[in-house]
Amino acid sequence: MGATTMSGGPLRFVILFAMWWVMMAAMMLPAASPTILLFDRVATQAPGRGKSEWTAAGLFLAGYLLLWGAFSLAIAALQSLLAQSGMMEPMTMALTSSWLAGLLLFCAGIYQLTPAKNACLRQCRNPAVFLSRYYRPGRMGALRMGLIHGAICVGCCWLLMALLFVGGVMNVVWIALLSVLVAFERVSRFGNRIAAFVGICMIGLSVLVWGGAISS
């Protein structure tokens, strides 16, 4: 899979994009499911709603996945550029530059400590608050809410997902660790503290990576 998607050509880029999109859905939907399920309950049980309101939940989900699709398109394009420049290992899809890997870890660590991260995380962690703020009736309202929730989730996790370039896009253990981290950040009442602790660890790890690059 790695060798196939790292090569050039429009078809292979489509495969790479599809791989990222499926992976993002698999990693993010478990953490987003409380909001999606709560919206489905609200949409189907609200007064005056008919049986066809199941489509509202589907549109909410579609909007959510569209935002992650946009992210997947951008990161697939970035991966293609890195591959063409020879800065990515073909099979594992991990960065070959320690300097760049350290920079990505450092930036992700700093972002974990920012108000923007905390604001996105707070909304992701409180489905009822999100729905009370952004709820709109109808199918277009459902799609709009899905897009908004997707944007908030991307804002919360985009640099964490970019860390797949550090551990390897095809590294199943690394994917699992990031998925668990995303889930703990979003479901735990100590999510902000977890995010801050992980951010500090990432900054420290970036220093170690840079130190190894200097010594080598």
Cα-based angle 2, 156, 46 (whole degrees, multiple of 5): 110
How far apart are the C-alpha atoms of 199 and 185, rounded to whole Å? 12
Compute CA 202 distance to the chain's CA centroid, rounded to the nearest angstrom: 17
In the chain, where are the structural domains located? Answer: 2-215
How far apart are the C-alpha atoms of 1 and 93, rounded to whole Å? 10
Instruction: Note the pLDDT of residue 56.
Output: 83
125 has a pLDDT exceeding 70: yes
In the numeric block, which tokens belong to residue 42?
Answer: 């609200």
How far apart are the C-alpha atoms of 209 and 151, rounded to whole Å? 31
From 30-39, 59-68, 72-81, the region with the lowest mean pLDDT = 30-39
How far apart are the C-alpha atoms of 78 and 141, rounded to whole Å? 32
Is the CB of residue 93 less than 8 Å from the CB of residue 162?
no
Choose among 74, 156, 73: nearest CA to 118.
156
Is the CB of residue 131 less than 8 Å from the CB of residue 43?
no
Instruction: Note the pLDDT of residue 109.
Output: 95
How far apart are the C-alpha atoms of 43 and 56, rounded to whole Å? 7
Q: Around Cβ 42, how many Cβ atoms within 10 Å?
A: 18
In the numeric block, which tokens belong to residue 139?
Answer: 């199918």
pLDDT tens profile 76-116: 999 999 988 889 888 888 999 899 999 999 999 999 999 99
Q: What is the 3-class SS of 75-99, one letter each residue? A: HHHHHHHHHHCCCECCCCCCECCHH
Q: Where are the alpha helices (DSSP H) in 85-190?
A: 98-112, 115-125, 127-134, 138-162, 164-167, 172-187
Instruction: Note the pLDDT of residue 13.
Output: 92
Instruction: Note the pLDDT of residue 30.
Output: 87
Choose among 64, 57, 80, 81: nearest CA to 25.
64
How far apart are the C-alpha atoms of 188 and 34, rounded to whole Å? 13
Question: pTM of the predicted model, to two decimals?
Answer: 0.86
How far apart are the C-alpha atoms of 135 and 67, rounded to whole Å? 18
pLDDT, mean of residues 46-53: 54
pLDDT tens profile 161-216: 999 999 999 889 999 999 999 988 888 888 889 999 999 999 999 999 888 767 66
143 has a pLDDT exceeding 70: yes
